[in-house]
Chain A
Amino acid sequence: MSIEARGITKTFGTFTALQDVSLHVPTGELVALLGPSGSGKTTLLRIIAGLEIPDAGAVLFDGEDATGRNVRDRRVGFVFQHYALFRHMTVFDNVAFGLRVRPRPVRPSRQGIRDRVMDLLKLVQLDWLSDRYPTQLSGGQRQRVALARALAVEPRVLLLDEPFGALDARVRQELRRWLRRLHDDLHITGVFVTHDQEEALEVADRVVVMNHGRAVQVGTPEEVYHHPASPFVYHFLGKVNLFHGRVEDGQVFVGEIAMGLPGDAAPDAAEAKVYVRPHHFDIDRKPNGRGHFRARVVHINPAGPQVKVEVLTEWGEMAHVDLPEERYRTLGLGKGDEVYVSLKEERVFIET
């Protein structure tokens, strides 16, 4: 089922959580709402679920207006950040809850409920824990129970609020891939909220980047990562170095490096913000004819797939450089070395 949000606005007292946000999720797609805390992403998710009423705007399921429809009748599966499991019920009873509260005519038989619950617990690989209580489970297991419980009512949409936020890094990685596979198997329309860009880029078909109650960019993970629409998106998606440049003769200068201007010409002496990802730098011992600036190596961290080098630029700013290990060995870098840094790729935003 497709989801559409049209011009959603929501305020809490004087705080504007969402401002005229529109969103379209085609059937079967998994979309991530990505943003810092307070960006309105959870509020948007809760409005889609019907847990929150928007001040203005409409929510449509399959083109049909569902704004005024009660949560109970929306048939959404909602997975809460802190699981929200029923502590006094076993895992089995938790998952069965949604089926047991159905009115008698549409309630499955006792055996029907049992089969469906056990199938779902097998799906989340927890059938062996069906008679435990939630307090006896680990965080990752609880989250899987919460997911099975949400899926039990055969929801038309699956909504997940920071589903892996409370888990440690390793479990998170695992569950993330598992969720992606599950989505590919079930083909259910899904929206999940996260503040972790890596999670959004890895799991989602499309990413909606949110900031200050607005959707600032919508696109595939590739689009938003490689073509950020604004300095905010650039900042938010991955590590980035920021340099302040100056416009002269239709070019932007950072140190001795001249760069082309994005779009139209800017007036001389305009401020320019130059963003460079750490792996878009190169380091040389000698000037190599390309544009470069001088810098001194301050710190080296060789643990990891990329060697992280911190340098102090000639104008006194710190820059983070990621070098392939091979390159690092060839250069034989050491702390305190004077080096020449060049740029393989950068992104310039003119301040207006």
Chain B
Amino acid sequence: MKKHSVLPGFGLTMGFTLLYLGLLVLIPLSMAFLKASSLSWDQFWHIVTAPRVLASYRLSFGASFAAALINAGFGLLVAWVLVRYSFPGRAIVDGLVDLPFALPTAVGGLALTATYAPTGWIGAKLAAVGIKAAYSPLGVVIALTFIGLPFVVRTVQPVLVDLEREVEEAAATLGANRLQTFRQIILPAVFPSVLTGFALAFARALGEYGSVVFISGNMPMRTEIVPLLIMTKLDQFDYAGATAIAVVMLVISFGLLFAINILQWLNARRLSAA
């Protein structure tokens, strides 16, 4: 196991890593399981399969998935523009991308609500054609797209920078048209990074609370997300109930991220297999 290395300190750094992960991630999360286990199995099942809770699962996972998907496409486009073209104000646009990271999410939620509410600037126009943006599942998707934007852009950008122009030129000299070059050459090269960005955006969206509660309207069965339900239960001092929902959320999230990681790993292995 122990290999000689010019850089010492494996024991020390590994020890710290385990300590940090333990203190910050593993122990708190296992407390959730512990708390939930104070319920009997029947009680647990009753709580996590209540219609209102199931509806919130559907909304949380559905909206997060939709938002991450939008970000995958849109983020790829933004990254492409930022890498491939130089235009006045590129640095500013590049900086704007990170704004959802820096902003308190509640501020983002307020701003989005003001814009997309039926009285808002865009919301009024959407309402005119019969689309309700804020206070509907669509509003949730908008908020989750907003907070997930930087992930795909920032993961795809370095890959696009590394993508040699020559490869595209080679495809052109071989007679490929632009669509063929994009689909068969560029997309396969950036796909792993898009997938990573997608996974990050998805994970972030699942846990988002601040921006969504403003724009969703929090109507039971319609626009309640899982974190909101957990908060509601906590407000009623129903700690066991809150952790029960949290545990389900945790298991599903872990499963999904695990699946995405396996996909990544398979992809990487295919490209570098000896």
Residue positions of A touching B, CB distance < 8 A = 49, 51, 71-72, 74-78, 80, 82, 84-88, 97-98, 101-102, 133, 135-136, 146, 149-150, 152-153
Contact = CB atoms under 8 A, between A and B. Distances in A.
A84 B170 contact: yes
A136 B274 contact: yes
Contacts of A146: 170
Nearest to B189: A88
Interface in B239-274: 271-274
A82 B174 CA distance: 16
24 contacts: A51-B173, A71-B169, A71-B173, A78-B170, A80-B166, A82-B166, A84-B167, A84-B170, A85-B167, A86-B167, A86-B170, A87-B189, A98-B176, A101-B171, A101-B174, A101-B175, A101-B180, A133-B273, A135-B271, A136-B273, A136-B274, A149-B174, A150-B173, A150-B174
B274 A98 contact: no
Nearest to A46: B169
Nearest to A49: B173
B199 to A, nearest CB: 20
Interface in B196-226: none
Given A88-B271, A135-B272, A78 B169 contact: yes
A97 B164 contact: no
Contacts of B73: none
Interface string B137-173: 0000000000000000000000000001011011111
Contacts of A75: 175
Nearest to A95: B174
Contacts of A135: 271-272
Nearest to B169: A51
A69 B163 CA distance: 26
A84 B167 CA distance: 5
B177 interface: yes
Q: Find the residue from A78, A82, A84, A133 having the highest chain B CB count within 10 A.
A: A84
Contacts of A149: 170, 174
Contacts of A86: 167, 170-171, 184-185
Interface in B45-77: none
B271 A98 contact: no
Q: Find the residue from A80, A85, A101, A102 having the highest chain B CB count within 10 A.
A: A101
A135 B169 CA distance: 20
B264 to A, nearest CB: 14
A123 to B, nearest CB: 17
A153 B169 contact: no
Nearest to B167: A84
Nearest to B178: A72
Given A135-B272, A136-B274, A98 B174 contact: yes
A80 B168 CA distance: 11
Given A51-B173, A87-B271, A82 B164 contact: yes
Contacts of B175: 72, 75, 98, 101-102, 153
A74 B169 CA distance: 13
A72 B185 contact: no
Given A146-B170, A150-B173, 5 more contacts: A49-B173, A78-B170, A101-B175, A101-B184, A149-B174
Contact of B169 (A84, A88, A102): A84
Nearest to B180: A101
Contacts of B180: 101
Contacts of B164: 82, 84
A97 B184 CA distance: 9
B28 interface: no
A153 B174 contact: yes
A85 B169 CA distance: 11
A103 B108 CA distance: 49
Contacts of A51: 169, 172-173
B214 to A, nearest CB: 43
Contacts of B188: 88
A189 B195 CA distance: 45
B174 A84 contact: no
Nearest to B187: A88
Q: Find the residue from A72, A77, A102, A149 having the highest chain B CB count within 10 A.
A: A72
Contacts of B171: 86, 97, 101
A97 B174 contact: yes
A39 B164 CA distance: 23
A67 B184 CA distance: 28
A8 B177 CA distance: 27
A102 B167 CA distance: 18
B173 A101 contact: no
